[in-house]
Amino acid sequence: MNTNISEELIALATVPVAQLDSNLCFINYSPTWLIHFNISDTNIIGKYYFDVFSDTPIEINELLTLCLQGQENTNLKGKKFTLPSGRTQWLKWKMYPCKNDAGEVDSISVILEDFTKKKQRINLATRAEKVANIGGWHADLLDNTVYWTRRAKQIHEVPYEFVPTLNECIDFYKIGEHRSRINKAINTAINTGNPWDEEAILVTAEGKEIWVRVKGEAETHNGKTVKLYGTFQDIDDKKKIELKYRAVAKRLELSTKAAKIGTWEYNILDKTDTWDSNMYSIYEVNELEDQVLYDVWKEKIHPDDFKKVDDEMQLAIKNGKNVTSEFRIQTGHNTIKFLKSVATVVKNQEGVPSQVVGVNWDITEQRLAQQKLEKSRESFKYAFEHSAIGMALVGLDGKWLEINQSVCNSLGYSKAELLKLTFQDITHPNDLEKDIELLEEVIKGNRISYQIDKRYFHKRGGIVHALLTVTAVKNYDGTVSHFISQIVDLTSRVYQENKLRSLVDVTRKQNESLYNFAHIVSHNLRSHSSNLSMLKDFLDKEKDEKEKENLMNMLGSSVNSLSETVAHLNEVVQITTDVKVKMRRISLLEAINTVQKNINVNIAEQNANVILNIDGTHFVHVVPAYLDSILLNLFTNALKYSFPNRTPVLEISSKNVGGRIILAFKDNGLGIDLDTHGPKMFGMYKTFHAHKDAKGIGLFITKNQMMSMGGKIHVESEVNVGTTFTLSFNSN
C-alpha cells in the first residue's frame, strides 16, 4: 500500500510538511516549510535534511532513523531540545513511514513545527506574571465556567486542579465591605459592560488574608455580556506599606498640628513660597487671601532678627547646607512669638540649589518657660549662695556637687576640699546607717524627703551637730537626679543645751546628795549612838576593873569610829557638784575590815559568824563615805534581820569580772519575798519585816549611792533561807 502524500496535498498544507527519501533527502515540501523555518534557499529538493538543518537536535536524527525502520512517532505537545550550537529549540512533530507496493519503507512524511518563539513568549508572560504577582482569569457566562492561570491559583492558595465557579470566586473575598464591593463591580460589568479596577482583601484557601488588585473587563455580544476576563495581582506587601505610610502620615499630620509645626517650601529660581495650613496658623495669616508669602514672612519677622535669619538662609543656599535658627515674629496686637526653623537645601540634577524645604514651629511657651526657669535658677542660686544655713547639692553616690559657704563655715573645709569628699566620709558612724536608709527610701520613691538630727566630723576633729533636711530632685522620667541638702548647724545650741542639762544635773545631784546626807546622818549616827549607849550601860554596871578597862578601850575605839564617820559625813557635805570628783581608788578589803570593826559589839552580841573571802588586790573606785555607808547598811541589815534561834552567818566574797569588782553579801536570815516586794525593793521607806528599827531608808540610800558612783546592786532572796546582795564596782 502506497502511503505517500500526494503533491497536491503537500502544496495545499498550511502546516510545515515535508517528504524525505530513504537517504533523508527532500522529495517534496510545503511552501510553509520554507517560511516557517526561515529557509532562504527556494529549492531544497534532493538536498540532505541535515545539510538544510545543520543545527538539529540529535534526538530528531534518531527519530528519523527509527521512522525509516517503520516506527511511527508523534509528539504534538512539544518538547524542548538543546541544539549542538547550545541554542534552545521547542518542536512538535508527527513522523510516519511511507511504504511502496511491496510494503517496503521508501520514504517518510514529516510534519514539524518549531514553536520556540511562542514558547518563549509564554515563558516570558509566565515569569512576568510571577514577578508582578499577577494571575489571569476569564469567566464564560454562557456555560458558567471560570478559568484561572497557575499564578492566580497560587495567589488563592488552591491546588492546580481546582476549578472555581463565579460565586466561589466572589466568596474568596473577606466578608463585609470587601466582598460587597467586588460583587457590585462584577454585577455592574455584567449589566452595563463597564470595566472595574478594585483593591480588596482576599482570604486564601489557607485562611491567609492578603490585599489584591482585581481588574476586569466585559465582552459583549448583541448587547449582552457573554464573558468576563481580567487579572489578580498580589499587592499585599505594597498595600500594607501604603496603609502603614498613610497611618504614619496621618499621625504626622496630627502631631504637627498639635505641636504647631508648619511646613514650607521656597523656590529659589522664581522666589515663591508654599505654606501648609499650620504655617498660616502660626503666622496668623488668612489662608484664603491672595498674597506673596515671602513678603508676609519678611514683614512678620521681628526687625531685630530679620538680618540674622536672612543671612543664615542666604549662606545655606550658597553652600548648599542645612540651617537651623531661632527668631521672633510679630503677629496682631504686637504679640511676640518665638519660632524655631529647620531648613534643607534641595539641589537639582545639575547639583545647583533649586529649592529650600523646611519647618517652623512655635516655641513661645517653651521659651517663656525657659525664661522663668532661668529666673528661678538665678533666684535659687542667689538664695543658695547667700543662705545663712548650709545648702548643698549631693549626687546619688554621696559626692558633694555644689556647696555654699555656710556648709564650709560649719564643717571647717574649703569648697574644693569638700568636693573631693562624700557626705559619708565626714558623717559620724553612729548616724550613717540611718541617713543612708532614709536616702534609699527617697531613691525608691517611698518618700519625697526626710529630716534627721545627725553629727558630722569637723575638719579639726570635733563634732558638728546639725539638723539635716534632704529633698530629691527628679529627672523628667521620674528617676532621682540628685538631692538638695539643707544643713542647719546646731552645735552652739546643742552645746548650750548640754551646758544647761549639766547644770540641771548638778542641781539634781546636789539635791540628791543633800537628801542622802540627811539620811546618812540619821542612819549612820544612830548606829554609833546605839553602840556608845550600850558601852555606857556596860560601864555603869561593870564592877570588874579589868573588864571596865576593856570596855573603855572599846569605848575609845567607838569614839574613833564615830570621829571617822563624822569626817566622812563632812566629806559628803563637800560633794556639791560632781560625785566623780570625790571618788578615790581604795582597797575593798580594808574598807570592809574598818566597817566590821565599827560594829564588832553588834556582831559579838548576836554571836554572828562573819566569813570573809576578799581578794586583797581588789580595789574599787568609790566615794569612801558612800562605800562605808553601803557596807555598814549591809552588815547591820544582816544582823538586824537574822533568823530567830539560828546563828547568823554572813559570807562576804569578791571577784573580778571583766574589769569590774563584784562584791557578794550572803546571809542566812529571814529572807525577802521578792514576788511581793521585788518591784519596790529599793524604794524609800519600803520595809519588808516587822522590826522596831526598820525605817525603809537604808537600801534606798545604798541603791542611789551605787548608781551615783557608776555601780549596780542586785538582790536574790528566799524566805527563811537568806538573802544575797551583789554589788558591781568600777575598779578604775
pLDDT at 128 over 70: no
What would the 3-class secondary structure string for 349-388 be?
Answer: CCCCEEEEEEEEEECHHHHHHHHHHHHHHHHHHHHHHHCC
> Per-residue pLDDT for 477 more than 90?
no
> Is it the case that residue 173 has pLDDT exceeding 80?
yes
Residue 509, pLDDT score: 59
- Where do the domains of the chain lie, and which CATH numbers do they carry? 7-117 (3.30.450.20), 132-240 (3.30.450.20), 259-368 (3.30.450.20), 387-489 (3.30.450.20), 502-730 (3.30.565.10)
**According to the model, what pLDDT value does residue 3 have?**
47
d(CA 118, CA 722): 133
What is the rounded CA–CA span in Å between residue 559 and residue 642? 27
Residue 626 above 60 pLDDT?
A: yes
At residue 547, does pLDDT exceed 90? no
The grid coordinates of residue 289 equal 487671601
Q: Residue 664 carries which side chain, given as an amino acid letter?
A: A
β-pairing, 609-613 vs 649-657, is: parallel
Is residue 288 scored above 90 in pLDDT? no
The helix/strand/coil state of 336 is: strand
Q: How far is CA 680 from CA 139, 190, 283, 300, 523, in A?
A: 116, 116, 91, 95, 20
Q: How confident is residue 129, by pLDDT bands cut at 50, 70 and 90?
A: low
Cell reading at 626: 558612800
Cell triple for 367: 521659651
**Residue 680, pLDDT above cutoff 90:** no
**Single pTM value for the model:** 0.35
For residue 437, give every residue at least 6 positions away whose Cβ sits within 8 Å of its Cβ, in sequence order, or none: none
pLDDT of residue 184: 93
What size, in residues, is the chain? 732
Q: CA torsion sign, 228 to 233 to 235 to 236?
A: positive
> Confidence class of residue 244 from pLDDT cuts 50, 70 and 90?
confident
Q: Return the pLDDT at 576.
A: 42
Choose from 123-137, 201-215, 277-291, 311-325 the range with maximum mean pLDDT.
201-215
Give residue-wise pLDDT tens across range 610-620. 999 999 999 99
Confidence band for 514, pLDDT divided at 50, 70 and 90: low
Mean pLDDT of 385-411: 86
The C-alpha cell at 388 is 545663712
Among the residue ranges 72-86, 189-203, 276-290, 628-642, the one predicted with the least confidence is 72-86
Question: In the structure, what pLDDT confidence band is assigned to residue 688 with cuts at 50, 70 and 90?
Answer: low
pLDDT range class, residue 5, cuts 50, 70, 90: low
Q: Cell match 588586790: residue? A: 617
Q: Which residues pair with 210 in a beta bridge?
A: 202
| Over residues 464-480, mean pLDDT | 88
- So what's the pLDDT on residue 322? 84
In 615-711, the DSSP E strands lie at 619-622, 649-657, 660-667
Q: What is the pLDDT of residue 650?
A: 94
Counts for the chain of helices (H) and strands (E), in that order: 23, 27
Out of 173-177, 248-252, 360-364, 520-524, the most confident range is 173-177
pLDDT, residue 389, reads 83
Which DSSP letter does residue 16 get?
-
Q: Which parts of 99-235 fold into alpha helices (H)? A: 116-131, 150-156, 166-171, 177-192
The residues facing 343 across adjacent strands are: 323, 358
Separation of alpha carbons 536 and 540, rounded Å: 6
Distance CA 343, CA 325 (A): 9
Q: What are phi and psi of 112, to 5 degrees?
A: -130, 130
Q: Taking residues 266-273, what's their average pLDDT?
A: 84
Q: Percent of the chain having pLDDT more than 90? A: 21
Strand partners, 427: 456
Does 541 or 712 have the greater pLDDT score? 712
Q: Is the pLDDT of residue 529 over 90?
A: no
Instruction: Locate the DSSP E strands across 638-721.
Output: 649-657, 660-667, 712-718
The candidate with the shortest Cα–Cα distance to 633, out of 514, 513, 520, 512, is 520
**C-alpha distances out from residue 228 to 121, 150, 170, 364, 721, Å:** 24, 18, 13, 63, 126
Instruction: Give the C-alpha separation, 252 to 244, whole Å.
Output: 12
Q: Is the confidence at residue 665, as pLDDT, over 90?
A: yes
Among 195-204, 282-291, 613-622, whose mean pLDDT is lowest? Answer: 282-291
Amino acid 380: pLDDT: 72
Residue 414 vs residue 116, higher pLDDT: 414
Say which residues have a Cβ less than 8 Å from residue 516's Cβ, sequence separation at least 6.
Answer: 572, 701, 704, 705
Average pLDDT, the chain: 83
pLDDT band at residue 134 under the 50/70/90 scheme = confident
Report the Cα 356 to chain-centroid distance in Å. 43
Q: Which helix (H) or strand (E) element contains residue 532?
A: helix 491-541
159 phi/psi in degrees, rounded to 5: -65, 160
**Rounded CA separation 703/516 (Å):** 11
Is the model's pLDDT at 399 over the cut of 80? yes
Better pLDDT: 333 or 513: 333
With 60 as the cut, is the pLDDT of residue 132 above it?
no
- Cα–Cα distance for residue pair 421/456, rounded to 1 Å: 13
Place of cell 534581820: 641
205 in Cβ contact with 157 (< 8 Å):
yes
Confidence of residue 1 (pLDDT cuts 50, 70, 90): very low
**CA gyration radius, the chain:** 62
**Average pLDDT for residues 256-263, to the nearest whole number?**
72
- Whether residue 577 has pLDDT greater than 50: no
- The H-or-E segment that residue 561 falls in is helix 545-574
Count Cβ atoms below 10 Å from residue 84 Cβ, excluding itself: 11
CB-hemisphere CA count at 13 Å for 103? Answer: 0
Best-predicted range by mean pLDDT among 229-243, 440-454, 483-497, 514-528? 440-454
